[in-house]
Amino acid sequence: MNYWLLKSEPDSFSIEDLARAPRKTTSWDGVRNFQARNTLRDAIKKGDQAFFYHSSCEVPGIAGIVSVVKSGYPDATAFERGHHHYDADSDPKNPRWFTVDVRLERRFQRVVSLDELRAYAGGPLRSMILLRKGNRLSVTAVTKSEWQFILSLAS
């Protein structure tokens, strides 16, 4: 099993939205960055776990945990005219964008804030991709040690 961090703007889709979804499951669609797309398509697999991260909000941070319940497959929203994730250059015969399905496993009692994570950037989280200067990727890997440390913060 591998560990990941998936970012979403809560105004667009929050952990609360996921909690209300049928079977607490959804497609992690709308990712429109090639590096993140490659991760969704090639690396994230059924059974992996990810932190659900709220970004671009008052208190950005990790709000909970999701499990990957379906490995990467073409993101159908790219082909839907009128959908806000539509991409006119994406071809169903040669899809450009991919998604995975995730299920909510646990909402944290509190958001583990980005500021709190940064407080450990010189120690246990020194190599965490999220904390690298200039990182804006919406899908990033998390090491097992980073995962376990963050879980201890959320407890």
Residue 3 CB-half CA count within 13 A = 15
Q: How far apart are the first and last CA of the chain?
A: 22
Instruction: With H, G, I as helix, E, B as strand and everything else as coil, classify residue 98.
Output: strand
Instruction: With H, G, I as helix, E, B as strand and everything else as coil, classify residue 153.
Output: helix
Q: Which residue type occupies 85?
A: H
Instruction: Please state whether beta strands 49-54 and 3-8 pair in parallel, antiparallel, or not at all (unpaired).
Output: parallel
Residue 102 and residue 68 in contact, taking contact as beta carbons nearer than 8 Å:
yes
Residue 52 and residue 15 in contact, taking contact as beta carbons nearer than 8 Å:
yes
Q: What is the pLDDT along the chain (155 residues), one digit of tens a residue?
A: 999 999 999 999 999 999 999 999 999 999 999 999 999 999 999 999 999 999 999 999 999 999 999 999 999 999 988 888 888 888 899 999 999 999 999 999 999 999 999 999 999 999 999 999 988 899 999 999 999 999 999 98
Separation of alpha carbons 16 and 64, rounded Å: 10
Residue 72 and residue 4 in contact, taking contact as beta carbons nearer than 8 Å:
no
